[in-house]
């Protein structure tokens, strides 16, 4: 059967494009057979446009798929643990289950997390793979990975990339570096990771490779220099967890100089969390072009603190937003994350201007894409970008009149109103259920995770 010039034509929806001009329009959006936006505009579509399928979105709100700029999908089967612990206590409890399996186990755990994201409207994720290295917690503020001479298993990390791509979640795949200053060992690991990743580079969901630096857990300044060498070796973005926990704050802050002295500060260094800062640290990082990624829900759950987002934005620092670990956010709900971020900042600074509603939505979509260097492909509804979007029905259940579309979308709607998630113009989740050919695989994934976690829990007792 001959196909139409377009794969999908969406009509009648109120679109929050989240482009640079924040255009809001009631109109149409066209998707080509490559899964990219071929056109959009006000009112009715041109009469000569034809498509294989037409979606009447009248009365619906349409926003870009959410971008989680900081995620740990492998933790999806370990929620509800360490309920009253701060960061390192929680990591210790979570890794006791989540990383106690094989490469085959972590494949299913990660796929479970990827499907969970898609069901909740998150279509792109910067995902930190589990390294498989042992976590040694000395106190709430001091911990390390490995034994000081360890590198992760490449096949174990690669299984996590395959899982995300098999689920259809767009991802920037980030691997933790070896917890060692042996450059040959670290370079060998990274070269192998890159080689295996390159084999999947043509997959439309594979948006690139990145690294996760380890200075937060390191005991010597040389680790920062190793990170910089790895960044330069393959031209990779580095998102280290940094200045996160409220314990041993001065020790953490002292390590900012390690990054400075190693020449790490620049656009390819994006700090994850960046909570226990000073104005001077923020100013210097911003001046160098660094970005940061904020996780409001998990920062609250783990009592990590409130990042100084107003200051970061005031001095021009690029800011993205993430859902973080699914087992310390517990419900990977981007609408909850939006509201939590707004409420935390307004309460902390006693000022409603600390975070505007439309600004918060921008940070979780285009802002997150841009801080990762992905703004040309995802994060907003613009011609040429992937047609990844959420369809939200404010009348099912009814939220009342739409006085302002941003107010309704962010403050009044949630997962209960999310009626469709599209990736590349294809429906992947219908009212919270994975749909189409992937539905059977999702059911198998759920079964595998429960069986494998039960086996791990039994062996751990």
Interatomic CA distance for residues 418 and 60, integer angstroms: 10
What SS3 state is found at 18? coil
Q: According to the model, what pLDDT value does residue 461 have? A: 64
Instruction: List phi, psi (to 5°) of 72.
Output: -135, 85
318 contacts: CB under 8 Å, gap ≥ 6: 270, 290, 291, 292, 367, 370, 371
96 contacts: CB under 8 Å, gap ≥ 6: 460
Average pLDDT, consecutive stretches of 10 residues, N- to C-terminus, the chain (461 residues) = 84 98 97 98 96 98 98 96 96 91 97 98 97 92 84 95 98 92 93 93 95 92 95 97 97 97 98 98 98 98 98 98 94 98 98 98 98 98 98 98 98 98 98 97 98 92 64
Is 180 buried (19+), middle (13-18) or exposed (0-12) by CB count in 10 A?
buried
Q: According to the model, what pLDDT value does residue 2 have? A: 62
Interatomic CA distance for residues 29 and 44, integer angstroms: 10
Cα 103 → chain centroid: 22
If we measure between CA atoms, which residue out of 88, 46, 64, 14 comes closest to residue 328? 88
Interatomic CA distance for residues 36 and 2, integer angstroms: 20
Is 64 buried (19+), middle (13-18) or exposed (0-12) by CB count in 10 A?
buried
- Is the pTM of the predicted complex or chain greater than 0.95? yes
CA dihedral 450, 75, 387, 333 (to 10 degrees): 90
**263-285: buried (b, 16+ CB within 10 Å) or exposed (e) per residue?**
ebbeebbbbbbbbbbeeebbbbb
Asked, as a colleague might, if the bond just before 112 is cis with ω within 30 of 0, I would say no
Q: How many degrees, rounded to 5, is the angle at CA 258 between CA 253 and CA 259?
A: 95
Q: According to the model, what pLDDT value does residue 181 have? A: 87
Instruction: List phi, psi (to 5°) of 118.
Output: -60, -40
């Amino acid at each position: 059967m001959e196909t139409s010039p377009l794969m999908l034509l969406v009509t009648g929806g109120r679109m929050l494009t989240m482009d640079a001009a924040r255009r809001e329009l009631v109109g149409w959006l066209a998707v080509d057979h490559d899964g990219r936006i071929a056109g959009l505009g006000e009112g009715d579509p041109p009469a000569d446009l034809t498509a294989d399928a037409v979606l009447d979105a009248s009365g619906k709100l349409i926003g870009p798929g959410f971008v989680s700029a900081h995620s740990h999908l492998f933790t999806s089967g370990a929620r509800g643990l360490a309920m009253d612990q701060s960061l390192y206590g929680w990591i210790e409890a979570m890794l006791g289950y989540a990383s106690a399996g094989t490469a085959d186990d972590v494949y299913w755990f990660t796929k479970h997390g990827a499907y969970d994201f898609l069901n909740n409207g998150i279509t792109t994720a910067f995902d930190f793979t589990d390294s498989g290295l042992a976590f040694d917690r000395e106190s709430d503020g001091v911990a390390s990975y490995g034994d000081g001479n360890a590198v992760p298993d490449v096949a174990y990390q690669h299984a996590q990339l395959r899982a995300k791509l098999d689920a259809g979640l767009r991802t920037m795949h980030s691997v933790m570096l070896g917890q060692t200053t042996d450059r040959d060992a670290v370079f060998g690991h990274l070269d192998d990771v890159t080689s295996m990743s390159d084999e999947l580079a043509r997959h439309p969901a594979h948006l690139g490779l990145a690294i996760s630096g380890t200075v937060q857990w390191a005991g010597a300044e040389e680790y920062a220099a190793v990170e910089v060498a790895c960044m330069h070796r393959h031209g990779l973005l580095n998102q280290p967890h940094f200045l996160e926990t409220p314990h041993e704050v001065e020790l953490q802050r002292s390590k900012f100089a390690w990054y400075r002295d190693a020449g790490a500060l620049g656009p390819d260094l994006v700090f994850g969390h960046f909570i226990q800062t000073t104005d001077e640290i923020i100013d210097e990082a911003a001046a160098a072009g660094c970005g940061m990624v904020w996780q409001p829900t998990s920062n609250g759950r783990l009592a990590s603190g409130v990042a100084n987002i107003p200051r970061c934005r005031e001095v021009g620092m690029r800011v993205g937003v993430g859902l973080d670990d699914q087992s310390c956010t517990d419900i990977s709900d981007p609408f909850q994350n939006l509201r939590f971020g707004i409420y935390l900042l307004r309460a902390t600074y006693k000022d409603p201007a600390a975070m505007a509603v439309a600004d918060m939505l921008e940070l979780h979509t285009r802002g997150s894409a841009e801080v990762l260097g992905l703004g040309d492909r995802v994060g907003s509804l613009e011609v040429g970008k992937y047609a990844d979007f959420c369809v939200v029905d404010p009348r099912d259940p009814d939220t009342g009149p739409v006085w302002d579309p941003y107010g309704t979308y962010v403050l009044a709607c949630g997962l209960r109103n999310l009626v469709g998630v599209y990736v590349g113009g294809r429906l992947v989740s219908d009212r919270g259920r994975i749909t189409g050919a992937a539905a059977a695989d999702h059911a198998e994934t759920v079964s595998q995770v429960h069986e494998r976690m039960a086996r791990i829990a039994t062996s751990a007792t």
